[in-house]
Amino acid sequence: MDLSKRGTFGSKFGIIAAVAGSAIGLGNIWRFPYVAGSNGGGAFLLIYLIIVLAIGLPVMLSEFIIGRATQRNPYDAFKKLSPNGHWYIIGIMGIFAAFMILAFYSTVAGWTLEYIYQSVINGFKGKSAGEINQMFTSFNTNTLRPVMWQVIFMLMTAVIVLGGVEKGIEKYTKILMPLLLIIIIILDVKALSLPDAREGISFLFKPDFSKITPNVILSALGQAFFSLSIGMGTLITYGSYIQKKDNLTSSAAIVIIADTAIAILAGVAIFPIVFHFGLKPTEGVALVFKTLPNIFAQMTGGTIFAVLFFVLLTVAAITSSISLLEVIVAFFVERLKMKRINATIFATVSVSYLGTLCAMSEGGFSNFRLFNMNFFNLFDNTAAKILLPLGGCLIALFVGWFYGKDKTWLEISNRGKLKVGYLNIFMFLIKYIAPLAIALVFLNGLGLFKF
C-alpha cells in the first residue's frame, strides 16, 4: 500500500465529525431507549455511564492509538505491530461483527424509511396509541414490506460507498446532525410537558438497584460498545486518518460526550411518552416506533416534524452504515484483492441476504427460534453482547500488555508535545480494569460463570 496516498482528516473538527458520524446513529435513538427500557431504566443508565467512562473511553483511545501509530486497517495494523502474533484475529472478528450489525441495522433503517412514508401520507394523524401500536405490528409481521425497505436501504448505502462520495456526505451531515439534535430537543420539550412526564423521567434517571442483574450489566456493556462503534476495530481505521499533531484523547472525549448526550436526550423524549400513553418500557425493538408517532399525531405541524425526524434519523443511520459496509469492502479489497466494485456488490448482496432473515423475523420467519431468539435478536445480541465485548477486551489487552506504556505515551503525547498527566490511570484501566471487567461481565452475563 502506498502510504503517501493515504488521506488524513483536515482538521480536528473533521475527525470529530467523522467519528461522531460513525458513532451517532440508530444506536443512540433506537437501540439505547429500547435496551434501557428492557433493563430497568435508571439502574441501566447508571451502569451504562460508568462503563462508558471506565471502559468505553480507554478502548476508544486504544483504537485511535493503534490506528494512528500504524496508519493501517485493523488487520494490517495488528500484523504490523505483531507480525508473528495472532492479534489480527481482532480484525477478522470485526468483519463478522460488521456483517451481523449491518443485517439488523439495515432492517431498522428500513423501518425508518417506512415511517418516512407513513409521515408523508399523514399516517399518524388522529390515531390513538393503540392504533399506532397496531400500525407497527401489522407492518412488521408483513412478510415483504420490511424486506423491501431493508433492501432499498442497503442499495442506498452501496451507492454511496461505490460512488466514493462519503466525503461529500460528511459535508451535509455537519449541518444535518445538529438539525437532528434540535428536533430531538423539541421532542424532549413536548414530552416533558405531558402532565405525567415525571413518571418517565424517574424511570430513566432513578436507579432501582434491585433491578441490576448480570444480564443488565452485560446489556449495558454491549450497548456502550455498540453506540460508540468500538470493539470491532472500526476506529483503528479512523485513527489511521488522524493527523500526528491532533490530540487523540480530547477527540475521543468529545465524541463520547456527544454520543452519550444524544442517547440520553432520546430517552428523555421517549419514556414520558411510554408512560403517558400506557405503553410498556419493555416493548423491545419497536419502542421508538410505537412512542414518538403519538407526539407527531397530536402536535401542530406534526406531519412536517415527523417527516423531518425520520429523514434525519435515516441520514444518521446512513453515516453509520456506510462505515460498517466500508469495513467489509476494505477487507475484501485489501486482503482478498477483489476489485472495489465487485467487493461492494458482493458485500451488499450478502448483507441483504442476512438482512432479509432479520427483516422477516416477525413475518415469514416468525417460527424460527434459537436460544429463544428470532433472527433479528440473535444477530443483535451476538454482535453487541459477544463479538464487541470480546473485541474490546482483546484490544485493551493488546495495548495494555503488548504495546506497552512507553509506546502508548509516545502516541498519545504526540511524541512528548502534549502533557499526559493521566497516563498511569489510562494504563491501569487498559491493563487491568477493562479486560477484567469485560471478562467478568461477559462470563457472568452469559451465565457461563456465576458469582
Binding positions for ligand TRP, rule: CB under 6 A: 22-23, 25-28, 101, 226-227, 229, 232, 234, 320, 323-324
Q: Return the C-alpha cell found at 366.
A: 416468525
Cα 5 to Cα 336: distance, rounded to the nearest angstrom: 21
> Judged by CB, which is closer to ligand TRP: 64, or 275?
64
Dihedral of alpha carbons 285, 97, 43, 63, sign = negative
> Judged by CB, which is closer to ligand TRP: 316, or 441?
316
Q: Return the C-alpha cell found at 127.
A: 390515531
Cα 242 to Cα 8: distance, rounded to the nearest angstrom: 6
Q: Classify residue 55 by burial, with Cβ atoms within 10 Å: 0-12, 13-18, 19+.
A: buried
Q: Return the C-alpha cell found at 209.
A: 438497584
- Closest distance of CB 101 from ligand TRP, Å: 5
- Closest distance of CB 425 from ligand TRP, Å: 26
- Closest distance of CB 144 from ligand TRP, Å: 26
> Judged by CB, which is closer to ligand TRP: 22, or 71?
22
Q: Classify residue 4 by burial, with Cβ atoms within 10 Å: 0-12, 13-18, 19+.
A: exposed
Closest CA to 392 of 235, 262, 259: 235
> Judged by CB, which is closer to ligand TRP: 27, or 281?
27
User: Cβ(391)–Cβ(97) under 8 Å?
Assistant: yes
Q: Classify residue 325 by burial, with Cβ atoms within 10 Å: 0-12, 13-18, 19+.
A: buried
Q: Give me the phi and psi of 82, to 5 degrees please.
A: -145, 75
> Judged by CB, which is closer to ligand TRP: 320, or 344?
320
- Closest distance of CB 156 from ligand TRP, Å: 16
Helix (H, G, I), strand (E, B) or coil at 373: strand
The residue type of 423 is L
Cell numbers 434491585: residue: 210
User: Cβ(383)–Cβ(101) under 8 Å?
Assistant: yes
Q: How far is CA 260 from CA 2, 32, 225, 265, 273, in A?
A: 37, 10, 12, 9, 21
> Judged by CB, which is closer to ligand TRP: 323, or 408?
323
> Judged by CB, which is closer to ligand TRP: 224, or 343?
224
> Judged by CB, which is closer to ligand TRP: 28, or 118?
28
Q: How far is CA 87 from CA 38, 63, 281, 440, in A?
A: 35, 13, 40, 21
- Closest distance of CB 29 from ligand TRP, Å: 8
Contacts of 315 (CB under 8 A, 6+ apart): 172, 173, 176, 177, 180
Cα 443 to Cα 319: distance, rounded to the nearest angstrom: 33
- Closest distance of CB 264 from ligand TRP, Å: 14
- Closest distance of CB 323 from ligand TRP, Å: 4
- Closest distance of CB 16 from ligand TRP, Å: 15
CB-based closest residue to ligand TRP: 27
- Closest distance of CB 99 from ligand TRP, Å: 12
Q: How far is CA 421 from CA 136, 329, 417, in A?
A: 51, 39, 13
> Judged by CB, which is closer to ligand TRP: 157, or 294?
157
Q: Classify residue 335 by burial, with Cβ atoms within 10 Å: 0-12, 13-18, 19+.
A: middle
- Closest distance of CB 67 from ligand TRP, Å: 13
> Judged by CB, which is closer to ligand TRP: 161, or 324?
324
- Closest distance of CB 316 from ligand TRP, Å: 7
> Judged by CB, which is closer to ligand TRP: 47, or 256?
256
